[in-house]
C-alpha cells in the first residue's frame, strides 16, 4: 500500500500510536506533518523520519484549542500547499471508577477524544471538498464499541468519535472524501505504561491472542484507510484488538 506524493497530517504524533502512524505513512511515501503538544518528542520523530530519507515537518498542536488547530492548519498548508490525509490520533484517558471522576476530568476526556477529531477534521475538510478528494481516519477505541471497565466517559467520547466518523462519511462521500475509523484494543503505548500492572495482565488474559497490540499494527490499519486500496470504503470501523472485542 502506497501513498506516494500525498501530504498526511497526524495528530498526537510525538509518541505511541501517533508516532507509529507518522512513521508508517512516511515509509509508504507520504510527506507527514506531525502535530503534538510534546515539541521535543515531535522534533525527535521528525528527525528520525528525515534520517531515513523521508519527508516530515512538526508543528505544535493542542487539539483542545481552536486557535492552536487553526494555526497548525495554516502552517501545514504553508509548508506543503495541500493536505490529502488527516489522521486523528491524539487521545487521552486513564482508568478510574466513574464515581471518582471530576467534571474537569470529563471535560478533558471529551475535549481530547471527541472534540479534538471534530475540530481538526473541520480545519481541513473544506479544502478537501474544494479539491474533490481526501482521506480522514480517526483512531477511536474498542471501548467506544463495547464499553470498558473504569473508562465510562472515555468510552462515551470514543463512541461519539465513531458516530461522528459515520455521519461525516455521509457528508464527505459526494466530494470523494472517505472517512473511516480504526478502533484499537489495548496497545503497548506510553499511556498503557501508566496502567497498573494488574490491569495490563487482565487485558492480556482477556485477549484471545494473549498480548497487547503493537502501535505499528494500529498504524497499518490507518495506512489501509488512507491508501487507494480503500478508495470505495467509507464510514467503516475496523477493530484491531487481537480478538478481544470480536463479539461487540
| 111: DSSP letter | I
Alpha carbons 152 and 125: distance in angstroms, whole number: 30
Residue 172, C-alpha cell as written in the block = 464527505
The catalytic residue among 154, 164, 203, 225 is: 154
CA-to-CA separations, 13 to 5, 17, 97, in angstroms, rounded: 20, 7, 28
Alpha carbons 125 and 116: distance in angstroms, whole number: 14
Cα dihedral: 19, 24, 30, 31 (round 10):
30
Residue 51, C-alpha cell as written in the block = 534520517
State yes or no: is 77 an active-site residue: no
Query: Residues 6 or more apart from 61 whose CB is under 8 A from it?
Result: 11, 35, 36, 37, 68, 69, 72, 90
How many CA atoms does the CB half-sphere of 47 hold within 13 Å? Answer: 6
Q: In what order do the strands lie in the sheet with 177-184?
A: 56-60, 31-36, 7-11, 85-88, 134-139, 177-184, 237-240
**Residue numbers annotated as active site:** 154
Amino acid at each position: 500500500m502506497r501513498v506516494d506524493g500525498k501530504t498526511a497530517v497526524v495528530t498526537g504524533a510525538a509518541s505511541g500510536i501517533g508516532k507509529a502512524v507518522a512513521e508508517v505513512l512516511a515509509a509508504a511515501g507520504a510527506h507527514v506533518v506531525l502535530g503534538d503538544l510534546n515539541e521535543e518528542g515531535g522534533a525527535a520523530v521528525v528527525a528520525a523520519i528525515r534520517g531515513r530519507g523521508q519527508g516530515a515537518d512538526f508543528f505544535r498542536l493542542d487539539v483542545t484549542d481552536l486557535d492552536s488547530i487553526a494555526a497548525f492548519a495554516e502552517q501545514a498548508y504553508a509548508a506543503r500547499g495541500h493536505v490529502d490525509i488527516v489522521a486523528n490520533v491524539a487521545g487521552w484517558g486513564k482508568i478510574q471508577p466513574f464515581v471518582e471522576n471530576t467534571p474537569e476530568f470529563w471535560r478533558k476526556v471529551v475535549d481530547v477524544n471527541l472534540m479534538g477529531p471534530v475540530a481538526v477534521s473541520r480545519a481541513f475538510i473544506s479544502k478537501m471538498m474544494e479539491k474533490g478528494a481526501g482521506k480522514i481516519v480517526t483512531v477511536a477505541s474498542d471501548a467506544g464499541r463495547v464499553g470498558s471497565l473504569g473508562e465510562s466517559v472515555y468510552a462515551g467520547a470514543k463512541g461519539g468519535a465513531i458516530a461522528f466518523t459515520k455521519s461525516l462519511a455521509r457528508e464527505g462521500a459526494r466530494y470523494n472524501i472517505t472517512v473511516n475509523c480504526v478502533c484499537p484494543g489495548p496497545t503497548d503505548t506510553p499511556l498503557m505504561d501508566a496502567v497498573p500492572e494488574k490491569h495490563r495482565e487482565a487485558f492480556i488474559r482477556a485477549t484471545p491472542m494473549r498480548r497487547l497490540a503493537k502501535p505499528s499494527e494500529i498504524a497499518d490499519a490507518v495506512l489501509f484507510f488512507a491508501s487507494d486500496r480503500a478508495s470505495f470504503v467509507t464510514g467503516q470501523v475496523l477493530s484491531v484488538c487481537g480478538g478481544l472485542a470480536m463479539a461487540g
